[in-house]
Chains A and B, each alone.
Chain A
Amino acid sequence: MWNKKRTTVSSMVALTLVGGMLAGCSDNGNNGGSAGNAGNGGNTSTNNGGSSETASNKEVTIKILHNWNGSGAGDVDMTPIANAIKEKTGVTVKFDYTKGSEVEKVNTIFATQDLPDVYTGPAWGGELDGIIKAANEDQLVDISDKLDKYPNLAKEIAKENVPPALYDKAIGAFGDKKYMLYQNQPASEKDANDWLYGFYVRKDIAGKIGIDPQSVHTKDDLYNFLKKIKDANLQENGMPVFPLGGFSNGWAVGIGNTMFYGSDYIDKGDGTLEHTFMSKQYEDYTLYYRKLISEGLLDPETFTQTDPIAKEKINQGRIAVLAAHYPAILDASKDYVKAHPGTDFVPVGPLERAGAEENRPVDLGIQGNNVTVITKKNKNVDASLKLLDFLASDEGFKLVHYGVEGVHYDMVDGKPVAKKDFFDKFNADATGKAKKNEGFGIGFESMTGLDRTNTLGGDIWADQERIAAMDNARKILRPNGISVISAYAPGDVLAKSPEYESLKPSMDQIGDVWKQAVFAKSDEAALKIINDLRNQMKKTGYEDAMKYTNENLKGKEVVTLQMPN
């Protein structure tokens, strides 16, 4: 009897274990499915039965991946702006954010098929290549037959509103089909957003070494400037001050490249282009930075440090010259400057530009910054398009950038003016959470169509000191103004060459190889590192790909001068 009971109990325990495990396994499968469903709005698929045509008037939830490292939500589930969007469109947006590499995220979501309903992310690097691959492999929704119902979206990707090479490469590259929306390209020259990339030095340190930052123009000037800082042996809390530093993974200490070459592709002298990596100028640029590293002028940890560590150094006052765009520098140094008046960062230069006439306006590669696509997993295509079209309208743009009228801002003489309580609250909060909790800066901006910030009323949330600092830097760094590039970027054409698939892995190495060369033991070793990759590029089809590029660019205006933006 006892044995029988024991057998029964044992059997039940074993079966429970097996059953539990199998249930666990099947859960995995279901999770994928339910995640997909949730992504498409748990209520949605039930309500609409998976129909993509019936979503427009029903409440749906859309899962959007905002593939932008550093973006993120505030502390509340539904913000006032998100609520207003829901009221207008019936769509509740659930954002997912990327914490690591954007390129890796693109590759991962398509490889694992863990797809959002809508993807929005950067459009300038490997991310776009991943999206194009996804379009070619039937992973995205063709919206060409729906665009007539969504005029704001049609406008975003009208040929005249997209930089030509990008249009050829991505937007219009699929015949009659359209897979991609494109956002944040300026609607007019007035809306061009100059992030003011450059070198910035702490005012007090420039004073201590007795050099006027505006007297620094040439490569030698910059080198001597950094050397003087080094020789001054400055210390902060017993730790040395680095002459030059940057943010995570070395962003953006390499911007001194513009002193050596104009853009990624340069004229060989016979009217044909070559990749700058193949040129003598690139070697000079590399050896210059090698000298900075080997002489202790550039923080050797800059290429391996994380963003918190970089910001910690800035907040400890251990960086004399920072390389990046100005808003990032202002944000990172805010606390230190507050505690140590007179230590604000001011522009160095303007520095010489290789191949540019002295009075030439600064060439900014403003090409927008976001590509948005609807994935095949989306069960509410029309609702998604309705949402995107609303966001791209003037009303949607203003809602996302200025907030709810009467709550966050008022219209005064036809212009939006921020409500004082919100303005003060946002400016007092260094974490940025206060702003995010209202719905600003959580991802909607990336889907608001053509950039009309200045046309529609400017940035009403920027504080006066910040505006003054930006204006001051602009006067110094852009004495001849700016010019928005509309010419063809050779890289976009090269990406369509038959050899690109085999060449791309080699070309992807350029950034890493440059860093390795910068740390090489000698100039010869640095050049060997570069030459090894050059040979590999040649072996994998570089010359044929460039021939293709040159042939396809014949007679077209090509970008040969470009400043980082």
Chain B
Amino acid sequence: MTASLLWKRIWRHKIFYLFMLPGVIWFFLFSYVPLYGIQVAFRDFRFTGGFTGSPWAGLKYFHQFFDYYQSKEIIRNTILISGMKLCIGFLTPIVLAILLNEVRNVAFKKTVQTLSYLPYFVSWVVVVTLMQRLLSQYGGPVNNFLESIGLVNEPIQFLNNTSWFYQMIIGSDIWKNIGWNSIIYIAAIAGIDQQQYEAAKIDGAGRFKQIWHITLPGIRNIAVILFILATGSLMSAGYEQLLLLNGPATASIGSVLDVHVINAGIGSGRLSYAAAVGLFQSVIALILILTVNRVARKVSDVSLF
């Protein structure tokens, strides 16, 4: 299509383009304009100089990060925690969506669905406070229950304990997000042609075979797209949750990049350093998305772009 034809088409549908304009402006203002702030990572940020007037510092802050004695540990922790969240947290909404699809009682199905996505709206501060109260080894109801049924002799220290840290982090993340993340899969399943199920039933396929041969292939494309997007957050383990749930007892396995950036930037006023670490996170995320997208395109013909 030539440029003049394109402009003619745009002009013909100008009203619709006008409706699109607020979104375009929003993205431009809040996603592209702030990109110029990236240069802070390469400057010695000064209040008076601002983003553009501060002196150049080259790669000083990147060097500082990689020279930092805990940087490897922090990167490792970040990848490990978000890797676990990616693997487990990615699969569980699919499982929930499939299970809900198999429920025939509509009222029960709706109730479970509503209850499962309500935690998504609860702030991490509240979630962590609830966890502290429920899981406390000093009079927490969970430990009391486990003791009362004779499952444990001594109360378990669920929090501030390296042995239980990952379980708590991943478990609470799943609890909070499973319902919300499953919505898109439920929608995808709803879009599958019911005749396929009927045909499968006639051919003698049971529930599991129907799931395996119809439901899963039906949501495969959506799952691949969401997986590609999720890989982008591999360098970001979630700052709110880790900031609140990680403590001195678990710092060796719970210190992650997001919290490190917040502490360095706001806590210590090292804005350039924080920007450098943040940029490092973003660059790795971009590389991951591009790589996974390419692999997905080759393997499954499904990709973002």
Contact = CB atoms under 8 A, between A and B. Distances in A.
Contacts of A309: 132
B18 A516 contact: no
A71 interface: no
A172 to B, nearest CB: 22
Interface string B261-282: 0001111111101000000000
B270 A532 contact: no
A516 B255 CA distance: 11
A137 B48 contact: yes
Interface size class of B (residues with CB under 8 A): 35 or more
A318 B68 CA distance: 41
Contacts of A101: 267
B25 interface: yes
A104 B15 CA distance: 47
Contacts of B25: 18, 21-22
Nearest to B138: A239
B252 interface: yes
Interface stretch (A126-134, A468-476, A477-485): A126-134
A21 B29 CA distance: 11
B269 A516 contact: no
A457 to B, nearest CB: 41
Interface string B45-73: 01110000000000000001001111000
A540 B68 CA distance: 9
A242 to B, nearest CB: 8
Interface in B239-267: 247-249, 251-252, 264-267
Interface string A45-68: 000000000000000000000000
Nearest to A7: B15
Nearest to B262: A104
A18 B29 CA distance: 13
A25 interface: yes
Interface in A133-150: 133-134, 137-139
Given A536-B68, A536-B69, A519 B266 contact: no
A465 interface: no
Contacts of A21: 22, 25-26
A107 interface: yes
Contacts of A318: 138
A548 to B, nearest CB: 21
B251 A301 contact: no
B30 to A, nearest CB: 9
B269 A111 contact: yes
B69 A535 contact: yes
Contact of A137 (B47, B69, B139): B47
B268 A508 contact: yes
B19 interface: yes
Contact of A138 (B22, B48, B270): B48
A279 interface: no
A301 to B, nearest CB: 7
Interface size class of A (residues with CB under 8 A): 35 or more
Interface in A3-52: 7, 10-11, 14-15, 17-18, 21-22, 25
A498 interface: no
A442 to B, nearest CB: 26
B284 interface: no
Contacts of A355: none
A516 B25 CA distance: 47
A107 B265 CA distance: 8
B210 interface: no
B21 interface: yes
A166 interface: no
A10 B270 CA distance: 49
Interface in B107-153: 132, 136, 138-139
Given A14-B21, A17-B22, A505-B268, A137 B252 contact: no
Nearest to B69: A536
A233 interface: no
Nearest to B140: A239
Given A300-B249, A303-B248, A533-B69, A107 B266 contact: yes
B160 interface: yes
A133 B269 contact: yes
B157 interface: yes
B21 A532 contact: no
17 contacts: A10-B19, A17-B19, A18-B18, A18-B21, A103-B269, A106-B269, A107-B266, A107-B269, A137-B48, A301-B132, A301-B160, A304-B159, A505-B273, A515-B251, A519-B248, A536-B69, A539-B67
Interface of A: 7, 10-11, 14-15, 17-18, 21-22, 25, 101, 103-104, 106-108, 110-111, 113, 126, 129-130, 133-134, 137-139, 238-240, 300-301, 303-304, 309, 318, 502, 504-505, 508, 512, 515-516, 518-519, 532-533, 535-536, 539
A-B CB proximity, top 9 nearest: A515-B248, A107-B269, A519-B249, A14-B18, A304-B247, A536-B69, A239-B139, A137-B47, A104-B266
